[in-house]
Structure 1
Amino acid sequence: MPGKILIVDDEIHIRMLLEQTLEDLEEEHGVSIVTASNGEEGLALIRREKPDLVFLDIMMPKLSGYEVCRKLNEDPALGKALNIVLLTAKGQEVDRRQGLELGAKLYMTKPFDPDEVLDTARSLLGIPR
């Protein structure tokens, strides 16, 4: 079952690293990968592309990852059914708790372990190892 992953991060090197980390899923399982460079663009892509999984940064221009989550929660067609993984440098417990309360399935901190990101994507997309 191929799926679609959206990477939303304002840092190009993080987007590229995530794309490289997830490229095995693209090549071996037909998963498509889409990227956005800010929260506003990410929200528009979520609404248009309906990805199965979103890796979402918190601290971004235009809309933060928290604001994207809030707006998604207001949309019953997207909100709770979407697999959002907040991937951020904000490592405080209060930040993690806020992200999960806003509907994120997981909260991962940067720097991230590429193997953990790949395993997370496989798990949330239902792709066996």
Structure 2
Amino acid sequence: MIERSQHSVLVVDDNAATRYATARSLRAGGFNIVEAAAGAEALELGEFVSAVVLDVHLPDLLGFEVCRLLRSKPTTAQLPIVYLSAMYVTEADQKHGMETGGNAYMVSPVDPEALLATLDQLIGQRPTLAH
């Protein structure tokens, strides 16, 4: 089990209420939270967090593109990325999310415990970086 208080999770969602609810449940689970409302903001913040919870439908870039761009940078290439979407929920969407580099794809509304467990597993598996 990871020590959640040692990790920050970036919650990216343009819907303020959904972003708040996701951030609140992760904060209650012990994680530090960073929030972003758009893809460009997520790309700027990605290297400062342990994992990303990423909505697909964003105002500037699709989450799929955000993920692909994060994967292309050495500082964020291994960053755990969990898609969380209420709109892009088909099997084809989920397959596309995994093909673009996502580590997990969850449909909103998500069970907070399932999201916490997924993040625990992915962060725990991530190679530690020398700082």
TM-score, normalised with respect to structure 2: 0.83
After the TM superposition, which parts of structure 1 deviate over 2 Å for at least 4 consecutive aligned residues?
121-126
List runs of 5+ in structure 2 lacking aligned partners.
125-131
Amino acid at match of 2:85: T
Amino acid at match of 1:87: L
The equivalent residue for 1:114 is 112
Bigger mean CA offset, 54-63 vs 115-124: 115-124
Pairing 1:15-30 to 2, within 5 Å after superposition: 15-26=19-30
The equivalent residue for 1:103 is 101
| Aligned-partner Cα distance in 2 for 1:23–1:66 | 25
Matched, 1:45 2:42: no
Residues matched between the structures, number: 119
The equivalent residue for 2:128 is none
| Aligned-partner Cα distance in 2 for 1:121–1:12 | 21
Cα RMSD (Å): 1.4
| Aligned-partner Cα distance in 2 for 1:43–1:76 | 13
Maintained 8 Å contact 1:21/1:117? no
Pairing 1:1-129 to 2, within 5 Å after superposition: 1=3, 2-26=6-30, 31-47=31-47, 49=48, 51-79=49-77, 81-89=78-86, 90-126=88-124
TM-score, normalised with respect to structure 1: 0.84
Amino acid at match of 1:64: L
SS in structure 1 of the partner of residue 89 of structure 2: coil
- Cα deviations across residues 32-82 of structure 1 (Å, max 9, x unaligned)? 2100011111111114x2x11100000111111011012122213322x11
| Aligned-partner Cα distance in 1 for 2:52–2:33 | 10
Amino acid at match of 1:115: E
SS in structure 1 of the partner of residue 20 of structure 2: helix
- Cα deviations across residues 68-103 of structure 1 (Å, max 9, x unaligned)? 012122213322x11000001211111111110111
Percent same amino acid among aligned pairs?
A: 37
List runs of 5+ in structure 1 lacking aligned partners.
none
